[in-house]
Amino acid sequence: MRRCRGASALVVLVLTGAAGCGGSGGAKDGDQLTVAVRDDLPGIGLRGPDGEYRGLDIDVATYVAGQLGVSKDRITWKATVPAVRENLLVRGDVDLVVASYSITDERKRKVSFAGPYFLAHQDLLVRTDDTSIKGAADLNSRKLCSVTGSTSAQNVKEELAPKADLQEFSSPTECLTGLENKVVDALTNDDAILAGFAAQRAHRGKFKLVGLRLSDERYGIGVAKSDTALRNKVNKALRKMVADGSWDRAVRKHFGPARFDHEQAPKITETG
């Protein structure tokens, strides 16, 4: 499913391993798929000590790949971070991005999306014994940590807490360490991501979600810009995942232990 450019400047999808540019633009049995995912987010996308990837995004990507005719053992996982997700698609390094990837108008200038497949909300994670932060206004002059290139960081700068002392780190794990060591006062990210960290055995009892639901974050699957054929196939797979109960089982598996009050499967809107 790699992209090739011909003299006519048309961009087409080709199957990995096929010779030249062309192909059907759709996966068949035996084809390979390269998918960008997070490897540092418990419950979303986390690479374990055994090298295996686990999380909701992994289950979603695996299901979609299966509907495209690609078995799990033919998926190549590529770890990514928020700041480079668009570039991976623009360069053709990956076929799909399934990495807690919020659908935004700015990103849609560079890439296209299928979905959404999950609705999250920006929230705050604080230390359990901290009762001073109850809302966005309480962040003024406080040290707030977010991940470089994330929508959470952008929201803080533009709307939620412009007077906060925003500290941008390369990963939420670094933010969490800073919160635990009192280097920062709060960590902001999507509630699903924060719940995954708070539910980890090593962190249980140390942190709590404030429960603000500061924004709507619609997780979509990134595809190459204007690749309507692939987007439509992914949307079809997502609809089937919800209809046959696989989506609900995956969400319960990864968020159930955290007692996370997640939203129901959102309506697919990225169709044109």
- Every domain of the chain and the residues it spans: 2-119+228-258, 121-209
The single-letter code of the amino acid at 228 is T
Cα 186 from Cα 188, distance rounded (Å): 7
Number of H helices, E strands in the chain: 7, 14
pLDDT at 231: 97
pTM of the entire predicted model: 0.78
Mean pLDDT (whole number) for 193-220: 86
**Cis status, amide bond into 162, omega within 30 of 0:** no
Mean pLDDT (whole number) for 56-81: 97
Q: Which of 24-33, 87-96, 134-143, 192-201 has the highest mean pLDDT?
A: 87-96
Cα 211 from Cα 196, distance rounded (Å): 14
Q: For residues 4 and 251, which has the higher predicted lDDT (pLDDT)?
A: 251
Identical topology for domains 2-119+228-258 and 121-209: yes
Q: Is the dihedral of CA 160, 44, 119, 81 positive or negative?
A: positive
- Residue 258's pLDDT band (boundaries 50, 70, 90)? low
Angle between helix 246-255 and helix 228-243 axes, rounded to 10 deg: 80
- The architecture (CATH level 2) of 121-209 comes to 3-Layer(aba) Sandwich (3.40)
- Residue 158's pLDDT band (boundaries 50, 70, 90)? confident
Q: For residues 93 and 18, which has the higher predicted lDDT (pLDDT)?
A: 93
Mean pLDDT (whole number) for 195-208: 83
Mean pLDDT of the chain: 86
Burial of 54 (0-12, 13-18, 19+ CB in 10 A): middle
pLDDT at 18: 34
**How do residues 41-51 score in pLDDT, each as one tens digit?**
998 999 999 99
What is the CATH T-level fold of the domain 2-119+228-258, as seen in this structure? D-Maltodextrin-Binding Protein; domain 2 (3.40.190)
